[in-house]
A and B are shown apart, each in its own frame.
Chain A
Amino acid sequence: MAEENKIKHVIPKKALYHAAFNWETWVQCCYNYERMMGMACGHTFVPVINYLYKDDPDGAAKRKEVMEREMEFFNVHIEFGSCILGMAIALEEQKSLGEPIPGDFITSLKTSLMGPLAGIGDTIYQGVLIPILLAICIDITLTGTVWGSIAYLILMLAISYVFSFANFFFGYQQGSDAIMDFLEKGVLDKLLLGAQVMGCMVMGGLIANYVTCKCGLEIVTSGSTFNVQETLFDAVMPKILPLGFTMLVYWLMKKRWTSIKIIILIVVIGVVGGLTGILTA
């Protein structure tokens, strides 16, 4: 879309806010294998659709065409992908004002952006932001207060809504060029590198605090008892067994073990270790 300084708008701000709200709130209410978030995309267009092709004698048919196009298959990360919705609304708006934008172009632009944004969104949101926030809030709760749960609930809601709305209007105002630009620029690399460093440190702290694995073996030799956990492992470094076990699980997952297989492995280790007394609680 050619970016000019004076772009005409026919959709009022209020309708746009309503659209962004519809997206963030109802997006996964009818999550399904056939179209994934397709209908949620259509639902997002409901508040704005009647502002398009208002003076067009053929408006009803054209509006229907827009809605049919927006009900198609769509799947993206909710918050990172909301800019695509903003962009699609802007494109449909300009198209309704007579810009020569083919309908297929809008669909293919949406489809081509959803892959990268889903990848980045899932990594940053579910791979970094949520684990770090959870780790800290879990730690607070486990000191014996409910405030960790409350803080997580409020922070996560605030972050999700603010980011989703801001990203929606970023897409609406800046268009596809700006989204592509962001995907290619170094900002993202910096963010990812910083997130990885911080995430790794917090995970290291989590292993030390919450993974428990103790050796229960005691070797009795002529009057003296040799406690393997205290005399051997704790002397090397406390918590060395939890660290080793976590790295083992990490390595197995790199070898494409599924989480269910790992759970079965943990149960087996627990049963064998508990019965033989090699491991203790």
Chain B
Amino acid sequence: MSISVLQAVLLGILYWIGEANLPFVGLWTIQRPLVCGWIAGIILGDALTGAMVGASINLVYLGFISAGGSMPADMALAGTLGATYAITGGLDADTALALAVPIGILGTLVWYARMTLDSIFVHVGDRFVEKEQYNRIWISNVLLPQIMAAVICIIPCSLAAYFGAAYIQDFVEMLSGTPLKIFQIIGGLMPALGIAITLQYIFKGESRVFLFFGFVVAVYSGLGLLPLGVIALLIALIYVQLAYKHGNDKSSIAQDAELEEDF
């Protein structure tokens, strides 16, 4: 299945909104493959496949943290193009995931280009302050950097979506057999990365045992993550209540375990 030029441009715009943090905190929402995969699915006329592929891809980027202007992977591009290729090429989620991860690494180029080029507009903003035209600061803070971001986001993403979709099917046919199996194995292993990154932040001190507790409960009960999340929330409440029952003696432990590393 090939896609129309209009669809390709819409996918580019989707990537721009997710990547450039335009309105409505795109950083926390549209940037996530769970969300942008779904919207890519809507653009291509198969919202459910888009959402499900996006959800699988998002497992890799669960705890990816962008702090101090760094960006370990461009999940907006991985989600948008991953869902696009899955729908147009009829890929399964694991294969789409293995394809999306390298795309995400490539996409960080756009983020770093943007962070660098945006410095120009700061000086435009300084000029507005110099002339006391405070009402025009939005031009330097929003309008100009977003036009620049639109150029560096929409063009590559639209091209990749348009031409990628045309060739993805041939590519997958070429891969069938052992290569496709390898893609699936890689796609199955990748979520471990997202979980391990999240664990860097929470797998500490007394809470360690609860990872194995949650694992065992999930393996033997087959519970979904929503009921498991509710149980986890209640257990966390009980645990904190018990830990703080005898005055403040626990607080220092939690503090040691958590705060020191992140400053």
Q: A residues within 8 Å of B by Cβ?
A: 24-36, 38-40, 42-43, 45-46, 49-50, 60, 63-64, 67-68, 71, 75, 78, 115-116, 118-120, 122-123, 126-128, 130-132, 134-146, 148-150, 152-153, 156-157, 160-161, 186, 189-190, 192-214, 237-239, 242-243, 245-246, 249-250, 252-254, 258-260, 262-263, 266-267, 269-271, 273-275, 279-281
Contacts and interface: CB of A to CB of B under 8 A. Distances in A.
- Please tell me the size bucket of the interface on B: 35 or more
Given A40-B141, A128-B201, A193-B243, A139 B195 contact: no
A123 B94 contact: no
B160 interface: no
Nearest to A190: B240
Contacts of A28: 21, 27
Contacts, number: 403
Interface in B97-132: 98, 101-102, 105, 114-119, 121-122, 125-126, 129-130, 132
In the A-B complex, the 9 residue pairs with the closest CB atoms: A204-B214, A127-B201, A212-B188, A32-B118, A201-B214, A204-B215, A270-B186, A139-B225, A274-B182
B174 interface: no
The majority secondary structure among interface residues of chain B is helix
Contacts of A199: 198, 201-202, 207
Interface in B125-158: 125-126, 129-130, 132, 134-135, 137-138, 140-142, 144-146
27 contacts: A25-B23, A42-B125, A46-B135, A63-B134, A67-B134, A78-B27, A115-B263, A120-B259, A123-B258, A130-B28, A135-B229, A156-B28, A157-B24, A190-B251, A194-B240, A196-B202, A196-B258, A198-B232, A201-B213, A203-B203, A207-B218, A210-B191, A211-B191, A238-B219, A239-B215, A252-B196, A280-B185
Contacts of A25: 23-25
Interface of B: 20-25, 27-30, 32, 34-35, 37-38, 41, 47-48, 51-52, 54-56, 58-59, 62-69, 72-73, 94, 98, 101-102, 105, 114-119, 121-122, 125-126, 129-130, 132, 134-135, 137-138, 140-142, 144-146, 178, 181-186, 188-208, 210-219, 223-226, 228-229, 231-233, 235-237, 239-240, 243-244, 248, 250-251, 254-255, 257-259, 262-263
